[in-house]
């Protein structure tokens, strides 16, 4: 299941339309999976895949339009499946990180909490473009959902970057987070007790007293970080505050995409 947040404060008609499309896509995809499973040939394989593909495209289009209007809360998660987030660079203040073992939901309805992850937060963050990739399948056919915004994210991060996406209270739950250029940390404490790490005045979810944390040494603005190039394997990305996404594009493509 793909979730792109809730619809607080959005027009009632838009909420109903998006929910209706999501339900329709769920029913359609379930029917396609059942049809594929019973072994009965019903037209060409391409035809079945294309039919299953249609409602997902409609949902992506509706979600994209809603996000562009600021109607959706910016929370991106995929049940039991990691996804890729990349950017040419990130510059943030009020930075903090802890190691935790969050509850992860799976497609079969079960949950687990045995995977160590990093919970990273920014009170304020600027991103130089954004590329998000989710891999899933319908009736055995692979497809990729691509979410892009701002400047084009390149495979090799630039030596210098200018941010064009603004976010407040940005949180990422990830199994791996990499920077391909120099990383600059200022006013930070490495090895702070996880429960003492604050982002936006609040502790990070899942922080355990005595656990590893990267927090602020105090002072105006708290700790800050600059990452030249960002590549993360995440289970959740949340913007709890304001989000400005220029040139937002959500689309679905056939196959297993590796870049936007």
Report whether 146 contacts 250 (CB < 8 A): yes
**How many CA atoms within 13 Å lie on the side-chain side of 202?**
12
pLDDT of residue 26: 53
Q: What is the pTM of this model?
A: 0.72
Stretch 240-246: mean pLDDT = 80
pLDDT tens digit sequence for 217-231: 987 778 999 999 999
How far is 151 from 193, CA to CA, in rounded Å? Answer: 37
Residue 165 in this model has a pLDDT that exceeds 80: yes
How large is the average pLDDT for residues 154-162? Answer: 90
Instruction: Report in angstroms the alpha-carbon separations of 247 from 14, 60, 164, 205.
Output: 20, 15, 10, 31
Q: Across all residues in the chain, what is the average pLDDT?
A: 78
Calculate mean pLDDT across residues 56-82.
54
Strand (E) or helix (H) holding 189 = strand 188-193
Residue holding tokens 């404060």? 9
Query: For position 31, what pLDDT does the model report?
Result: 52
pLDDT at 174 over 70: yes
Give the mean pLDDT of 182-203: 93
Give residue-wise pLDDT tens across range 108-131.
778 888 899 999 999 999 999 999
pLDDT, mean of residues 141-149: 92
- How do the domains of the chain map onto residue ranges? 2-254
Range name among 25-29, 108-112, 113-117, 182-186 with the lowest pLDDT average: 25-29
The residues, any chain, with a CB within 8 Å of residue 111's CB and separated by 6 or more, are 103, 104, 105
Contacts within 8 Å (CB) and 24+ apart, 157-163: 157/88, 157/89, 157/181, 157/228, 157/229, 157/230, 158/88, 158/89, 158/128, 158/228, 159/228, 161/88, 161/89, 161/128, 161/228, 162/128, 163/89, 163/90, 163/91, 163/126, 163/127, 163/128
Counting residues of the chain whose pLDDT is more than 70, the rounded percentage is 69
Q: What are residue 244's DSSP bridge partners?
A: 166
- In this predicted structure, what is the pLDDT of residue 23? 57
């Amino acid at each position: 299941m793909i979730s792109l947040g809730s619809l607080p404060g959005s027009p009632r008609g838009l909420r109903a339309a998006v929910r209706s499309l999501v339900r329709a896509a769920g029913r359609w995809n379930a029917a396609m999976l059942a049809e594929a499973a019973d072994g009965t040939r019903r037209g060409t394989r391409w035809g079945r895949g294309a039919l299953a593909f249609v409602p997902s495209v409609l949902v992506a289009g509706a979600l994209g339009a809603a996000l562009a209007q600021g109607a959706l809360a910016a929370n991106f998660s995929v049940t039991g499946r990691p996804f890729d987030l990349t950017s040419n660079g990130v510059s943030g203040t009020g930075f903090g990180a802890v190691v935790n073992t969050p509850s992860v939901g799976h497609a079969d309805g079960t949950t687990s909490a045995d995977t160590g992850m990093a919970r990273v937060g920014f009170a304020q963050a600027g991103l130089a473009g954004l590329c998000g990739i989710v891999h899933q399948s319908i009736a055995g056919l692979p497809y990729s959902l691509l979410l892009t915004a701002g400047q084009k994210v390149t495979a090799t991060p630039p030596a210098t970057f200018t941010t064009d996406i603004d976010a407040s209270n940005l949180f990422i739950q990830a199994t791996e987070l990499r920077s391909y250029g120099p990383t600059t940390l200022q006013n930070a404490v490495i090895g702070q007790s996880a429960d003492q790490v604050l982002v936006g005045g609040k502790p990070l979810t899942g922080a355990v007293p005595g656990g590893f944390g990267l927090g602020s040494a105090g002072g105006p603005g708290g700790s800050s970080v600059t990452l030249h190039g960002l590549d993360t394997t995440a289970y959740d990305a949340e913007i709890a505050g304001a989000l400005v996404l220029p040139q937002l594009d959500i689309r679905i493509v056939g196959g297993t995409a590796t870049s936007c």
